[in-house]
Structure 1
Amino acid sequence: MKDFEKMGSFYLGRQVDDTTGSATGELLLYDAKDLTTHGMIIGMTGSGKTGLAISLIEEALIDEIPVIAIDPKGDLPNLLLTFPELAPGDFLPWVSPQEASREGLTPEEFARKTAETWKKGLGDWGIDGARIHKMRESVDLAVYTPGSTAGRMVSVLRSFDAPPEAVRADGDLFRERVQTTASSLLALIGIEADPLTSREHILISRVLEEKWSRGESLDVPSLIGMIQLPPFSSLGVLDLETFYPTGARMELALKLNHLAAAPSFAPWMEGEPLDAGRFLYAPDGRPRASIFTISHLSERERMFFVSMLLNEVLGWVRTQPGTSSLRAILYMDEIFGFFPPVKNPPSKTVLLSLLKQARAYGLGILLATQNPVDLDYKGIANTGTWFIGRLQTERDKARILEGLKGASEKGFPLQEIDRMISGLGKRVFLLHNVHEDRPVLFQTRWAMSYLAGPVTREQIKTLAGDEASPAAPATARPVTAPAAGTMPQASIESRVMVSGVNSVYLPAPAGVEAEYAPFLGAFASVHFDDRKRSISETRDYAFAVEFDAGPVTVDWRNAFELEEDPSRLAQGVPTPVMAEAPPAALDPKAYTRWGREFLKWLPQEARLAVMTCPSLKETARSDESRADFAARVALARREMRDAEVEKIRRKYASRLTTLQNRLMRAEQAIERETEQARHKKLDTAVSFGTALAGAFFGRKVNTYSASRMGTAISKAARLQKESGDVARARETAEAVKQEMAELEVAMEGEINALIPVDSPEMAIQEEFITPKASGMNLTLLGLLWLPYSRNSQGGLTPLWGKR
């Protein structure tokens, strides 16, 4: 495993010495859990801000953490430009012909040069095509273009769904949801409404509150209708007509109707619904990166969409169980205008709520801006991670330093940060993380995605065209249509009645001419019970099989499952029929035998498929989709991983603390012994000097002079001892450092030995529960007539559903 392939760690670059500005070679690994306290990326144009954000998102996707990304500039679809083979042909459609021309190259030559540059750049950072392939295989990437057909469309105006029960139960949160929705909708039609004084805002808010409080959703037509005829007669203490006359309400209704009727707004009514869970996980359970590109929208449209999307994310957050692990990421590539320091646009209110509440549910919010002045720093004062790149003006730097005063629980060294920020180069960022001891400088790694710059709508169409289409449903077993022609109805009906066989038919849709064919129909109720998996569930099944003219009249292996409700069946023989029931079908005793054979055969078909993750001992609930179960399992994996990592760190913590204390004492001893040796050296030099002076300049060598010479020699011996003490202290410090390094290597080894979250042992499996004989109940067995329609060429089409 490469040094940066560590669970729960985002490989963002390499550290830079903050005094020399040169790279140290030490990797910058960011703990994914730290993003639950949110993050900010600040840097001027050209600082490498977008590259850092894309690299961080890439790391999240490799770790199978889903992402919702709001893209006002059009840069983030570059995440789809990942080429594992790094072949020139992959780059060719995306390189700029103008840039190639400026370099005197053809597009093909420039693509070849770009591929070589990208391959070398990634190689210098230890990244190869296999890592790119792993990222692409780990997730589903989707580009949404609200209000446009270029990418995936999002239906925003089709309905205003009631918020989840968790939001409705929280009075403050519910009022915020109502207020933000009303403000966003009014802003879209050009009305800047004050929630306290605007009668338009008060009316729409009251309508939303009236419906949503009962769990009922609204669409645009019904909203327009309720503005004209509200379901209440007063607002506040005033009657409705006094507060907001009918004529004035009609003007508001017409503005909304013009919006809904305008051809340019048709795309807002189509596409996928606003569903945060769907944006985070694909139907097949893979985590998803949903990129919402809004560069083509007007300012009002951007505010409307962003506010609605953030509302949806906040509602989703409140339906999730709490966790300290990183569940998902919400990224905004440019927050300018959405979170200003003074004004209160609709987006700001919901963003503040998300910043306060999302961390408890594992949603990490990452915001970016190149305009640090126009930002509400009070709202993000508790943000735990700050990535600060090169800034444009001293004013920008002063504003950031002011905002950082409350950003550190350990006290922020503003003077040191001021010095470090002042010398930042391109792609060099200062990382301040409240979960670490001190800020560090680092150079961002090479992005795995090709950074082609802002992507146009035409290019988005190309990317959207490359997205995988949903798999086609499996083709059901063909059913042979009965021979053409109808039989005399009276004779068939009388024969069935005389035989005493239970005869039922499925009525054809109203207004459709139909002909009926006979089958043997079996309807059963099957109970599945598995105490180990806590499953106790009953399901209904319906099967039909054709009568065979051979020696075996009925073979259940040829049966097909019906997708019809037994309550729709009617008693009797329908008219007209296209084929007569065979003689065996009119023998009541045969049905007893067929019933026994059916119950023997049924367990082969009526098996309950359940999704499980054996390693986590998790089983999907009966009402849980694959995507929802995958999300739950992914979170459980990360929680288990984070808990194991924390357990290992605690295991080594006391030993590391002991060694750190020993190292501190050893360094203090070095300092003390060095100081003592320096004094001894000086004292010895003075003693020798005095003794020699007395011996050379004295009139005679007396006992006193000899004594002083002896003292000087004794001090020299002690100096030698002090020098030895310094050397031993240094040896002790080096030994402690070596022991600490070995201990850290051992700790990292245990962490890396943990089972990766994407290992086969952590995969979701499909298992089957077979019913017991006592759990199967045959509710209906009889002669079943199914309808067909006949076209002008005589071809037959079944008028019933089949699984």
Structure 2
Amino acid sequence: MSNLKKRTFFLKSAHLDDIRLFSTRWVLSYLKGPLKRDEIASLMKEQKVLQNTEIESITEPREKNEKFESIQNIDVSIPQYYEPDPTLEHNYLATLMAKTKVHFYNQSKGIDEAHTLWLSLDLPSTLQNIRWEEARELDIDFENFPHTKPSKAKFQALPSLVLNDKGLKKASKELKENLYRNQSLELQRCISPKLESKVGESSSDFIVRLQDLLSDKKETEIEKLQVRYAKKEKVFTTRLSRANERVEKESSDSTSSMIEAGIAVIGALFGRSTPTKIGRAFKKSSNILKERGDMSRAEERVAQIHEDIEALEYELEDKIDVLNEKYNAENCEIEDFTIKPRRTDIEVEACAIVWRIV
């Protein structure tokens, strides 16, 4: 077993009459190597969610610190929506919500993508500054909420900076600036070969696509190698054929000489050979030694050619291993890059006070 060549396997099966050896070009290992950062993040995602849930559970509820009033003096230019309350208690907390559209465009990279974001920001009565970076993304279309204020409803007091912002123009402007600074498309690219991820393509899918490209390049390189080494192997095969023919010829000549020498010696013993024939017999004997030496050298030549062919096979396998390493996606330099939106491609379609039930 220890003498088996690389990627050569020993097969013993109840369905076969004999034991066989087979080889394969590729060997796939299911052993997982060191985890990458994105893989660690994926594994720890649930733990982070649980941790954040625990933090939120020990935070004092916002409504306990708020006073509720039945009358709100809000400028008519500020849109308001009311979340339906199935409990009919109609106690409302104020939130600032916005519907935005961010357009990402890059002609050279073939990117033309629009994202719609629904953002929600709590508005405690003590709020001094609007920080849109603290807003949460929601899947709630507040424009479907009713505009009419429920009867006997009680509301949390609004902060003065919101009451003084007619039409919420300042809040919308700050939101647009915040989106310009913080919104981007996160993409990946490989330096060599040049390849970039697509919009919405996960890191793992990008690696798979990159590996497919590398595999195609590797197959092309391997085919070129095999063609080149096939020519070299053909030269060695021709030499081996000639060397084997030489061994057969030397073996045949040696056998003939031994037979002739034997006949001459037997004839001399029984008195049927002349001195001349006996001399020729001794000469044949000396030729036998020479021919044996020639045959030994011919056999050594055959053995040497076999070693050369085997060395050529190992050399080819080593070069294929180098190509496997070269065209492995794990060895490629991959970097993150972003596509930023233009200011003109950011639109705040709606911004309003949305009263959410307690």
- TM-score (structure 1 length as normaliser): 0.36
User: What is the percent sequence identity of the aligned residues?
Assistant: 18
Select which of 330, 334, 343 maps to 1:773: 343
> 1:129-208 counterparts in 2 under 5 A?
134-135=31-32
- Asked if 2 retains the 8 angstrom alpha-carbon contact of 1:505 and 1:574, the reply is no
User: Aligned pair in 2 of structure 1 residues 763, 614: CA closer, same or farther (>3 Å)?
Assistant: same
Look up the match of 2:271.
Answer: 697
Instruction: From the superposition, tell whether residues 664 and 592 of structure 1 become closer, same or farther in structure 2 (CA, over 3 Å).
Output: same
8 Å CA contact 1:519, 1:786 repeated in 2: yes
1:481 aligns with 2:36: no
Does residue 682 of structure 1 match 2:259? yes
Given that 1:514 and 1:787 are in contact with CA atoms closer than 8 Å, whether structure 2 keeps it comes out as: no
Compared CA separation, residues 4 and 734, structure 1 to 2 (3 A): closer
Query: Residues 714 and 632 from structure 1, CA distance in 2 versus in 1: closer, same or farther, beyond 3 angstroms?
Result: same
Q: 1:30 aligns with which of 24, 29, 54?
A: 24
- Pick one of 104, 109, 117 that aligns with 1:528: 104
- Residue 313 of structure 2 corresponds to residue 744 of structure 1: yes
Kept after mapping to 2: 8 A contact 1:630/1:764? no
**Cα displacement (A) at 1:472:** 5.3
- Spell out the pairing of 1:117-136 with structure 2 (5 A cutoff): 134-135=31-32
Alpha-carbon contact 2:214-2:329 (below 8 Å) kept:
no
Question: 2 CA distance for matches of 1:511 and 1:661?
Answer: 95
Q: Of 491, 505, 508, which residue of structure 1 is paired with 2:84?
A: 508
Structure 1 residues 668 and 510, CA gap change in structure 2 (3 angstroms): farther
Give yes or no for contact 2:118–2:138 (8 Å, CA) kept in 1.
yes
Corresponding residue number in structure 1 for 2:304: 735
Residue identity opposite 2:120 in structure 1:
A
The 1:470–1:543 alpha-carbon spacing in structure 2 relative to 1, beyond 3 Å, is closer
1:586 deviates by 2.6
Is 1:545 matched up with 2:106? no
**Aligned position for 1:668:** 245
Distance of 1:136 and 1:512 partners within structure 2? 57
1:707 aligns with 2:279: no
Aligned 8 A contact 1:15 1:28 in 2: no
SS of 1:553's partner is: coil
Number of aligned residue pairs? 338
Query: Residues 645-660 of structure 1: matches in 2 within 5 Å?
Result: 645-660=222-237
Deviations 1:565-624 (A, max 9, x none): 365355566663521222321334694444343333224542223465665655554465
What pairs up with 1:611-626 in 2 under 5 angstroms?
Answer: 617-622=194-199
CA RMSD of aligned residues (A): 4.4
**Does structure 2 retain, via aligned residues, the 8 Å contact 1:615–1:762?**
yes
Q: Which runs of 5+ in 2 are unaligned?
A: none
Q: Structure 1 residues 602 and 657, CA, compared in 2 at 3 Å: closer, same or farther?
A: same
- Contact map agreement 2:258 2:288 (CA 8 A) in 1: yes
* Pairing 1:259-408 to 2, within 5 Å after superposition: none
From 753, 757, 761, give the equivalent of 2:331: 761
1:496 is the counterpart of 2:75:
yes
Structure with higher RCO (Cα < 8 A, 6+ apart): 2
Question: What's 2:95 paired with?
Answer: 519
CA gap of 1:505–1:611, structure 2 versus 1, over 3 A, is farther
Contact 2:103 2:346 in 1 (8 A): yes
- 3-state SS, counterpart of residue 752 of structure 1: helix
In the TM superposition, what is the alpha-carbon distance from 1:747 to its structure 2 partner? 1.4
Matches within 5 A, 1:421-460: none
Deviations 1:86-142 (A, max 9, x none): xxxxxxxxxxxxxxxxxxxxxxxxxxxxxxxxxxxxxxxxxxxxxxxx25989xxxx
1:463-496 residue CA offsets vs partner (Å, 9 max, x unmatched): xxxxx9983573489696344553224x43xx32
Matched residue of 1:738: which SS?
helix
CA positional deviation for 1:784: 2.2
Mapped contact 2:66–2:125 kept (Cα < 8 A): no
Task: Quote how far apart the aligned CAs of 1:656 are.
Answer: 1.8
Cα displacement (A) at 1:534: 3.5
What displacement does 1:539 show? 0.6
Q: Secondary structure at the match of 1:697?
A: coil
For residue 538 of structure 1, report the CA deviation from its aligned partner: 1.0
| Distance in structure 2 (CA, Å) of the matches to 1:4 and 1:604 | 62
Is the 2:142–2:354 Cα contact (8 Å) retained in structure 1? no
Bigger radius of gyration among the two: 2
Q: Is the 8 A contact 2:95 2:356 kept in 1?
A: no
Amino acid at match of 1:670: V
CA distance in 2, matches of 1:679, 1:512: 120
Q: Choose which of 175, 180, 183 in structure 2 pairs with 1:598.
A: 175
- CA gap 1:622/1:597 in 2 versus in 1, 3 angstroms: same
Q: 1:697 to 1:647 in 2, by over 3 A?
A: closer
Task: Give 3-state SS (helix, strand or coil) of 1:744's partner.
Answer: helix
In structure 2, distance between residues paired with 1:621 and 1:512: 48
1:471 maps to 2:46: yes
Retained in 1: the 8 A contact 2:125–2:156? no
Residue 578 of structure 1 aligns to a residue whose secondary structure is strand
Alignment deviations for residues 751-781 of structure 1 (CA, whole Å, 9 cap, x no partner): 222354776335987654332334322222x
Distance 2:243 2:5 in 1: 35
Match of 2:133 in 1: 557
Listed one character per residue, the Cα deviations across residues 427-470 of structure 1 (whole Å, up to 9, x for unaligned) are xxxxxxxxxxxxxxxxxxxxxxxxxxxxxxxxxxxxxxxxx998
Cα distance, 1:726–1:568 mapped onto 2, change above 3 Å: farther
- Mapped partners of 2:84, 2:175: distance in 1: 27
- Structure 2 residue aligned with 1:69: none
Indicate how the Cα distance of structure 1 residues 507 and 520 shifts in structure 2: closer, same or farther if over 3 A, else same: closer
Closer/same/farther in 2, CA of residues 579 and 551 from structure 1, 3 Å limit: closer
The answer to whether the 8 Å contact 2:188/2:197 transfers is: yes
Secondary structure of the corresponding residue to residue 496 of structure 1: coil
